[in-house]
């Protein structure tokens, strides 16, 4: 049974901070299909459309009938642990620094036999396990065999924690703690065991209901932060940047206009200033220190979360300029993900459907509750995905977008 | 003769017989901007981005690009700012005659009243009381309402918002009409974020100081500071807005020339080393 994680001792300042090393990260183009599914928190394996064989590792053709008609299909990952190995030596720097390392061979119920990282609570073989596809520090899919049933403190497993971004005992900056999602998130992150939450707020003279009570939580420190103010972002990074393990950018400027519904560009500019340039300012000031701390002990810098919108995928014309700003932010987040990759810091993009707040007042339900968005963010940090689509609307739009982006564009154009 | 006056002025400035007092707040991102309901068009706060600082972006020089509203920080309101002044001639920052930018100032001290009541309103009676002591308000002069509001260096206290809106001092409707019609003043200046009181949206008409002052071609000055360093009468204010085409207003440096005879006591308080040559009082940092 996993021993519960204890708060790490304070860092010894005379020791060099370890440089992040990554597990092997190169994959063939076809193998990246596994990563694409893992990025959404799913295990998908190639399935032959002709003979039905499920295969692993990914290949160009079916290993049984040589058909190229292969399709990635979601698998539940259940299977039997056939054998285990404890690794005491590796030439891979990442594993060398983390010995011993437990591996196992699992026969999946859907057919293939796979080598997987073995959670500490998996019973000795033969035993039943569930295989997940996690995103490892290299940003690639890695198969992890989990115990058949949840065990106490499962998330605290040493090996698993190398693949998750669990907020427990970590220090978290939430850039806008005033918004409904921001407020819910501060509470959720505190509940998830964060050591310290910096709760950012702009325009201190505007006090939304509920905000004051956040500061009564002992883990919460309010910090003045306005993403439109480059110097303020720089100053805060100078103050706390070297300690932020998880940064969650909740700052969001949302108005509901298309192009002709409002004269001028002021609204669009304000949206871009926070949603796009705000992210850029934050990334320029906070990313360097986080990159340097990708392997800084048990509570290293691990994740950067962007609160985007499902409108980032395809423009929702009634909220047209907002959609454009979120699309810009998505593009920049991809750049950030690439720049964070060598440090093993995960960039998580969150694409909620319309949130039940003042700027979506005129949209009909279903609308997602701010607390649900917060819960999904915490769940993602504890788990392993990098793209999250909270709420039914987001899931539905995503499915339609994946099916045919042009059809979705036409459908959205017809919405008023 | 004109020559003699200017020579005398320069000599007085050099000799410290006339002091220069800076009535301007520092333009900083931390200085609060006007609050309007979020669905309305907004005034930009002051923002600044570094272009280069002796680095790869420009090895030998430091400079910034900044952005702000015409109504950010210490700023000037032109008549075209308000709907009541929109059809007046020479009503924008580029067309107002330049001679309007230098004028005498009457400073009405309401600091005690404003300290006791954030919603304090300047009345005709207050103005008459001032006139009984200092003489009739001269036509073409600035009326500066001293409230010491600029000493509220915490932006939250400066904005002073609650669920019912902003609570800051300003003039009542009758006082505005009196100044415009019976005293022909040049404009009205305030230490708070608007020339009108925080609650003036509920007055008749809403924002009377904007409505009547600008409706009759007069000006406004907002977010002033250091009014406590001015004499009630006798100071000359230099307030020249940027020459923005069709501009409704502009951030600006507001200076006051103050005869030192009126401020000997204050000069002593501030130390002798400051009293030679001109003394610039730097705006308080927020």
Q: How far is CA A56 from CA A49, A76, A106, B9, B220, in A?
A: 15, 14, 12, 91, 75
Number of Cβ pairs closer than 8 Å across A and B?
32
Query: What does the radius of gyration of chain A's CA atoms come to, in whole angstroms?
Result: 22
| C-alpha span between A295 and A161 (Å, rounded) | 12
Residues of A with CB under 8 A from a CB of B: 203-207, 226, 228-232, 255, 264, 266, 270
Q: Does B17 touch chain A (CB under 8 A)?
A: no
* B158 min Cα distance to partner chain A (Å): 9
| C-alpha span between A351 and A364 (Å, rounded) | 19
| C-alpha span between A149 and A121 (Å, rounded) | 10
| C-alpha span between B278 and A177 (Å, rounded) | 47
Are A226 and B39 within 8 A, CB to CB? no
Are B32 and A205 within 8 A, CB to CB? yes
Are B29 and A264 within 8 A, CB to CB? no
Residue A266: burial class (beta carbons within 10 Å; 0-12, 13-18, 19+): middle
Active site residues of B: 81
Question: What is the 8-class DSSP label of residue B253?
Answer: -
Q: Sketch the domain layout of chain A as residue ranges.
A: 32-151, 171-413
Q: Does B64 touch chain A (CB under 8 A)?
A: no
For A30, the token pair is: 């076809």
- List, in order, residues 6 or more apart from A233 with CB less than 8 Å away: A225, A227, A281, A282, A285, A286
Q: Interior CA angle at A312 toward A263 and A222, to 5°?
A: 85
Residues of A in contact with B32 (CB under 8 A): 203, 205
Query: Comparing C-alpha atoms, which of B255, B241, B233 is closest to residue B69?
Result: B241
User: Given B41, B48, B161, which is nearest A205 (Cβ)?
Assistant: B161
- pLDDT, position B1: 62
| C-alpha span between A63 and B49 (Å, rounded) | 58
Query: Comparing C-alpha atoms, which of A176, A205, A357, A178 is closest to residue B165?
Result: A205
Residue keyed to tokens 């918004």:
A179
A-contacting residues in B 156-185 (Cβ below 8 Å): 156, 158-159, 161
- pLDDT, position A415: 84
pLDDT confidence band for B2 (50 / 70 / 90)? confident
| Residue A174, beta-bridge partner list | A199, A248
Please, what are the domains in chain B? 2-43+70-274 (3.50.30.50)
| C-alpha span between B194 and A345 (Å, rounded) | 47
| C-alpha span between A126 and A301 (Å, rounded) | 37
| C-alpha span between A177 and A249 (Å, rounded) | 10
Half-sphere exposure at residue A183, Cβ-oriented, CA atoms within 13 angstroms: 15
- pLDDT, position A299: 85
Consecutive H or E run containing B236 = strand B235-239
| C-alpha span between A114 and A117 (Å, rounded) | 10
Q: Does B50 touch chain A (CB under 8 A)?
A: yes
| C-alpha span between B77 and B214 (Å, rounded) | 8
Q: Interior CA angle at A227 toward A225 and A229, to 5°?
A: 85
Are B155 and A205 within 8 A, CB to CB? yes
| C-alpha span between A214 and A249 (Å, rounded) | 17
DSSP secondary structure of A170-237: -EEEES--SSHHHHHHHHHHHHTT-SEEEEEES-TT---TTHHHHTTSTTEEEEE--TT-HHHHHHHH
Q: What is the ipTM of this complex?
A: 0.88
Question: What is the 8-class DSSP label of residue B72?
Answer: S
Residue keyed to tokens 């949209």:
A363
- pLDDT, position B261: 67
| C-alpha span between A363 and A384 (Å, rounded) | 32
- pLDDT, position A384: 87
pLDDT exceeds cutoff 50 at B286: no
Q: Which residue of A has its CA nearest to B163?
A: A207
- pLDDT, position B276: 40
Query: Comparing C-alpha atoms, which of A127, A128, A131 is closest to residue A144?
Result: A131
* B162 min Cα distance to partner chain A (Å): 8
CATH code for the structural domain at A171-413: 3.40.50.720
| C-alpha span between B66 and B68 (Å, rounded) | 7
Query: What does the radius of gyration of chain B's CA atoms come to, in whole angstroms?
Result: 19
Are B159 and A264 within 8 A, CB to CB? no
Q: Note down pLDDT in tens along chain A; length 416 residues.
A: 788 998 888 888 899 998 999 999 999 999 999 999 999 999 999 999 999 999 999 999 999 999 999 999 999 999 999 999 999 999 999 999 999 999 999 999 999 999 999 999 999 999 999 999 999 999 999 999 999 999 999 999 999 999 999 999 999 999 999 999 999 999 999 999 999 999 999 999 998 888 888 989 999 999 999 999 999 999 999 999 999 999 999 999 999 999 999 999 999 999 999 999 999 999 999 999 999 999 998 889 999 999 999 999 999 999 999 999 999 999 999 999 999 999 999 999 999 999 999 999 999 999 999 999 999 999 999 998 999 999 999 999 999 999 999 999 999 999 86
- pLDDT, position A35: 98
pLDDT exceeds cutoff 90 at B270: no
For B12, left (φ over 0), alpha (ψ -120 to 50), or beta?
alpha
Residue keyed to tokens 């991809």:
A334
User: Given B41, B158, B159, which is nearest A266 (Cβ)?
Assistant: B41
SS3 assignment, position A378: helix
Are B42 and A266 within 8 A, CB to CB? yes
Half-sphere exposure at residue B88, Cβ-oriented, CA atoms within 13 angstroms: 25
| C-alpha span between A292 and A340 (Å, rounded) | 10
Model pLDDT for residues B138-168, shown as the tens digit of each residue: 999 999 999 999 999 999 999 999 999 999 9
Are B35 and A231 within 8 A, CB to CB? no
| Residue A54, beta-bridge partner list | A47
pLDDT exceeds cutoff 90 at B240: yes
Interface test with A, best of B28, B30, B48, B70 (most A CBs within 10 A): B30
Consecutive H or E run containing A373 = helix A370-382
Q: How far is CA B108 from CA B113, B137, B138, in A?
A: 11, 11, 14
Residues of B in contact with A230 (CB under 8 A): 47-50
- pLDDT, position A230: 97
What does the pLDDT average to over B68-84? 98
Q: Which residue of A has its CA nearest to B32?
A: A203
């Amino acid at each position: 049974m996993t021993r519960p994680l204890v708060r790490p001792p304070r860092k010894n300042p005379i020791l060099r901070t370890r440089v992040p090393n990554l597990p092997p990260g190169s994959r063939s183009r076809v193998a990246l299909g596994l990563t694409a599914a893992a990025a959404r928190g799913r295990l998908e394996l190639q399935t032959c459309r002709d003979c039905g064989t499920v295969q692993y590792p990914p290949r160009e053709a079916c290993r049984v009938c040589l058909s190229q008609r292969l399709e990635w299909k979601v698998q539940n990952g259940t299977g039997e642990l056939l054998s285990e190995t404890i690794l005491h030596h590796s030439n891979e720097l990442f594993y060398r620094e983390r010995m011993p390392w437990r591996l196992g061979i699992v026969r999946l119920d859907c057919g293939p036999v796979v080598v997987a990282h073995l959670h500490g609570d998996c019973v000795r073989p033969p035993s039943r396990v569930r295989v997940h596809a996690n995103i490892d520090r290299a940003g690639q899919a890695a198969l992890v065999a989990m115990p058949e049933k949840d065990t106490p403190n499962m998330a605290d497993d040493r090996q698993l924690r190398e693949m998750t971004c669990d907020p427990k005992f970590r220090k978290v900056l939430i850039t806008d703690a005033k918004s409904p999602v921001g407020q819910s998130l501060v509470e959720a992150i505190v509940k998830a065991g964060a050591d310290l939450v910096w709760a950012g707020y702009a325009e201190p003279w505007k006090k939304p209901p509920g905000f004051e009570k956040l500061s009564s939580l002992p883990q919460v420190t309010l910090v003045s932060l306005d993403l439109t103010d480059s110097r303020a972002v720089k100053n805060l990074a100078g103050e706390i940047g070297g300690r932020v393990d998880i940064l969650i950018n909740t700052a969001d400027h949302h108005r509901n206009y298309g192009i002709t519904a409002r004269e001028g560009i002021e609204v669009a500019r304000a949206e871009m200033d926070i949603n796009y340039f705000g992210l850029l300012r934050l990334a320029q000031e906070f990313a360097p220190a986080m990159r340097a701390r990708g392997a800084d002990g048990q509570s290293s810098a691990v994740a950067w979360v962007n609160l985007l919108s499902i409108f980032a995928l395809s423009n929702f014309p009634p909220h047209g300029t907002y959609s454009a700003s979120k699309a810009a932010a998505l593009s920049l987040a991809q750049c950030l993900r690439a720049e964070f990759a060598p440090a093993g810091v995960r960039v998580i993009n969150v694409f909620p459907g319309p949130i039940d707040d003042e700027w979506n007042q005129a949209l009909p339900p279903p609308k997602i509750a701010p607390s649900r968005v917060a819960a999904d963010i915490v769940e993602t940090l504890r788990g392993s995905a990098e793209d999250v689509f909270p709420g039914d609307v987001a899931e539905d739009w995503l499915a339609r977008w994946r099916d045919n982006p042009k059809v979705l564009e036409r459908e959205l154009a017809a919405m008023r | 003769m004109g020559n003699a006056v200017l020579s005398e002025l320069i000599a007085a400035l050099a000799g410290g017989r006339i002091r220069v007092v800076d009535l301007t707040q520092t333009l900083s991102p931390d200085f609060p901007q006007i609050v309007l309901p979020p669905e309305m068009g907004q005034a930009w706060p002051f923002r600044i981005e570094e272009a280069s600082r002796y680095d790869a972006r420009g090895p030998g020089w430091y400079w910034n690009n900044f952005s702000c509203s015409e109504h950010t920080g210490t700023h000037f309101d032109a008549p075209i700012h308000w709907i009541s002044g929109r059809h007046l001639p020479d009503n924008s920052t580029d067309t107002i005659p330049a001679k309007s930018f230098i004028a005498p100032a009457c400073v009405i001290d309401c600091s005690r009243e404003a300290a006791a009541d954030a919603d304090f309103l300047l009345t005709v009676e207050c103005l008459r009381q001032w006139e009984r002591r200092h003489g009739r308000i001269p036509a073409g002069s600035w009326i500066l309402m001293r409230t010491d509001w600029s000493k509220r260096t915490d932006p939250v206290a400066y904005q002073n918002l609650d669920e019912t809106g902003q609570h800051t001092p300003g003039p009542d409707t009758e006082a505005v009409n009196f100044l415009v019609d019976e005293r022909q003043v040049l404009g009205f200046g305030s230490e708070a974020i608007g020339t009108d009181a925080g609650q003036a949206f509920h007055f008749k008409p809403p924002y009377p100081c904007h409505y009547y002052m600008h409706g009759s071609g007069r000006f406004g000055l907002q977010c002033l500071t250091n009014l406590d360093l001015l004499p009630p009468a006798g100071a000359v204010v230099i307030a020249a807005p940027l020459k923005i085409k069709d501009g409704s207003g502009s951030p600006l440096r507001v200076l006051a020339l103050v005869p030192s005879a009126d401020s000997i006591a204050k000069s002593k308080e501030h130390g002798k080393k400051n009293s030679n040559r001109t003394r610039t009082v730097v705006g308080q940092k927020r």
